[in-house]
A and B are shown apart, each in its own frame.
Chain A
Amino acid sequence: MTDSKPSSPLPSTSLNRSFTLSRAKEQAIEVSLLLCALVSIATTAGIVFVLVAESVFSIPPEQAFFQEVSVWEFFTGTQWTPQFADKHFGVLPLVCGTFLIAGIAALVGLPIGILSAVYLSEYATPRVRSIVKPILEILAGIPTVVYGFFALYLITPTLIKPLFSALGFDVDGYNALSAGIVVGIMIIPMVSSLSEDALRAVPRSLREAGYALGSTKFDVSAKVVLPAAFSGIVASFLLAIARAVGETMAVTIAAGQSPTMTLNPLRSVQTMTSYIVNVSLGDTPAGTIEYKSLYAVALCLFSITLVMNILSQFVMRRYREVYQ
C-alpha cells in the first residue's frame, strides 16, 4: 500500500499489463473457441458447397449434372430412370414419393402428436406426465432401422395386407403406407413435445379467463389454448414434416425402390432419400451422371427441408412475441 501522488501516469505498478504471455493465452483460447463455433458454419458451407459443386458447377463445368440435364427436365420430368439405357432425369416421381410418405406420416403423426400434447399439458396429472414423457422420449430415440423393421415385418403383413386385401385392394409388399405410418409414429414425440412447449407457454391467466367464462376443459383447450398457441404448433408441424421428408432408413427398408409417380399409398414408391441410399449401396462409379444425380437429388432434398426449417423458425419467433 504505497502513498502515491495523483498525476504521475506510469508509476511502477502491478496494474500494468506486464505478463503478456497470459494475455496471449487468453486470446488464443478465445480464438480457438471461436473456431469451434465456426465449425457449424463450415458444416453448412460444406454441405452447400458439396451439393452445389457436384450438381451445378463441377470441374470441368460441362460435366456438372445440370449441364447434362436441364433444370427444366429435372423439375418437370415424370420419369426417373438414371440407370437405364433410356435415361430420364425427372425428379418428380421421387418428390412425389417423398411427399406421399411425408403426407401419410403427417396424417398419422400430427393429430396424435397434438392431441398428446393437449393431453399432457391440459389433462394429465403430473404423475402421468412424468411417466408418459420419458416414454415418448424413448420413442423418439429409437433408431430408424428399427422402425423400418417394424414396418416391413409387422405393419405390412399383419395390418396393411389383411386389411386392404379384405377390402379388395391390391397391396404391394413394399408400400408407402406402412413406411408412412412408422414415420408418422417417429414424428409423434417431436410434435407432442414442441407443441406442449407452445401450449404451456400460453399464460395461465388466459386459461383462467376461459374457465371463469363457464368453459369446459374442452372449450378452454380447443378454443382458447390451441388458438393462442397456434403458431407454435404450426412451427412444430413444419419441423416434423421436414423430419419426415428427410427420413431415410425406415423408408428405404419399407417403401421399396420404385420411382413411380403415384399417390396410391398401397404402391411401392421411392423417396429422394431412398434413391440416395440406393445409389450409394449400388456403388455407382463416381463421376458418372447417375452418380451426380445423387447430388442433384440431395440438393433438392436439402432445399426443401431448409425452407421448412426456416419457415418454422420464423413462425416460432412470431409466437414468442404474442405474449410479450
Chain B
Amino acid sequence: GGGEGGTSNGEGEGAQTASGYMPEGAVAPTPETIEAGEYAPLSRPLFLYVRKEALKKPETVAFLRYYLSEEGQDLVSETGYVRLSSAQLAETTKILEDAIAEAGTPEPGDTITGEVVIDGSSTVSPISSAVSEEFSIKHPDVRVPVGTSGTGGGFKKFLAGETDINDASRPIKESEIEQAQANDIGYIELKIAIDGLTVVVNKDNHWLDGLTVADLRKIWEPNSTVEKWSDVNPEFPDEPIKLFGPDTDSGTFDYFTEVICGEGGASRSDYQQNTDDNFLVTGVSNDENALGYFGFAYYVENQDKVKALAIAP
C-alpha cells in the first residue's frame, strides 16, 4: 500500500513524529490529557459498585482500602489507566469510610480470611485483577476472584446478590437501579480511575495520526458504506479498512457507540469483534490497514504494537 499523506519518511522513531494526517484540534490520549479532561469526548470515569451487605465482611473492607491506597492507585497507573487526582481520591475514600462506619464492620485484624467476589467490566478488570493479585500476596488467605462478564453482565449477577463488587465502566443505569430496589440490594458507587477510549491503528501506518469524531462516525455508524480508507477521506489510500472493536456485551461498546454514533449499540456490524480486548490488539497489530478501539489501558500495555490516534471533537 502507499498513501498520499506523506508516508515517505518510513521509520519515524516514536510514533509521534507527526507526519501523517492530523485534523485540527486533535488531542492524543496520554495520562495527562485524559486527567486534564482535554482528551474529550473519549474519556470516562471507572467505578466499583459495592454491595453494602458485603461491606460487613472485614475482607471486603481491607480489600477496598487497599484499592484506594497509594499502592492501589499505583496499580491503576501500572495497568495503564489514569489515577484519580488527590481531591477525587479523598472524595471516594470518604464515601467508602462512611459506608464502612454505617455497616459497623469490625476493624480487620492482621490475618484476614474469606472471599471477595468481583465481576463486571472487562475494562476495569485489569485494575481489579492487579489489585486482587497484590492483595492476595499480602493476605494469602483471602480469595478475590475477578470475573469479566462485562459491565451489564456483571450488574446482573451483582443485583442478584451473587457478587460483592461490580466493576463498571459506566454509571449504573436506571433499569439497574430499579432492579436493585426490587431485590433489596443496597450499594455504594466508588469512582476509582479514569479511562480514555483509544482509537488505534497499526504501528506501520505512517499516513494517519488523527481523526475527527465525524470521521469515526462515518466509519462506524450502522450500515456504513465505508469499505476503504479512501471512502473516509479521499486523501487516504485506496486500501480496504479493517475494523476491530470490542464485543457488543461490553461497556466499551456501549460507550463508544453512544459517543460516536449517538445511540448505545448503534454500530456497523461487519467488523472483527471480541470480548477480549487483547484479541483486538493482536488483530490490529497484525494488519496494516486496521483500525480499532478499546480501553486506554490496553493501549498503554501495547504501545509497541499499535499506535493511538489523536481525536478531534
Contact = CB atoms under 8 A, between A and B. Distances in A.
Interface in B150-176: 150, 152-153, 156
A257 B279 contact: yes
B274 interface: yes
B272 A257 contact: yes
A85 B274 contact: no
A172 B269 contact: no
Contact of A282 (B153, B257, B282, B286): B153
Interface stretch (A76-84, A214-222, A230-238, A296-304): A76-84
Interface in B218-272: 222-223, 240, 242, 247-250, 257, 263-267, 269-272
B275 interface: yes
B267 A85 contact: yes
A156 B285 CA distance: 13
29 contacts: A79-B269, A81-B269, A83-B247, A84-B248, A84-B265, A85-B222, A85-B267, A86-B222, A86-B266, A88-B269, A152-B282, A172-B242, A172-B286, A173-B286, A173-B290, A174-B286, A257-B279, A258-B270, A258-B273, A278-B274, A278-B275, A282-B149, A282-B153, A282-B250, A282-B275, A283-B147, A283-B150, A283-B249, A285-B152
Given A86-B269, A258-B271, A172 B248 contact: no
Q: Could you tell me the dominant secondary structure of chain A's interface residues?
A: loop
B267 to A, nearest CB: 6
A24 interface: no
B240 A174 contact: no
A166 to B, nearest CB: 14
B148 to A, nearest CB: 8
A283 B125 CA distance: 15
A257 B240 contact: no
Interface string A281-293: 1111100000000
B134 interface: no
Contact of A281 (B242, B264, B276, B290): B276
Contacts of B272: 172, 174, 256-258, 268
A205 to B, nearest CB: 56
A63 interface: no
Given A85-B257, A152-B282, A257-B279, 5 more contacts: A172-B272, A173-B290, A282-B249, A283-B147, A284-B153
Contact of A84 (B149, B152, B269, B282): B269
Q: Which 7 A-B pairs have CB atoms at the shortest separation, nearest pair first?
A: A173-B286, A83-B248, A85-B265, A81-B269, A283-B149, A282-B249, A282-B275
A58 interface: no
Contacts of A83: 247-249, 273
Contacts of A278: 247, 274-275
A157 B282 CA distance: 12
Given A79-B269, A83-B249, A84-B265, A173 B153 contact: no
B287 interface: yes
A68 interface: no
A283 B286 contact: no
A42 to B, nearest CB: 30
Interface in A153-203: 156-157, 161, 170, 172-174
A36 B246 CA distance: 45
Given A278-B247, A285-B153, A173 B282 contact: yes
Contacts of A305: none
A257 B273 contact: yes
B259 to A, nearest CB: 15
Contact of A85 (B250, B266, B283): B266
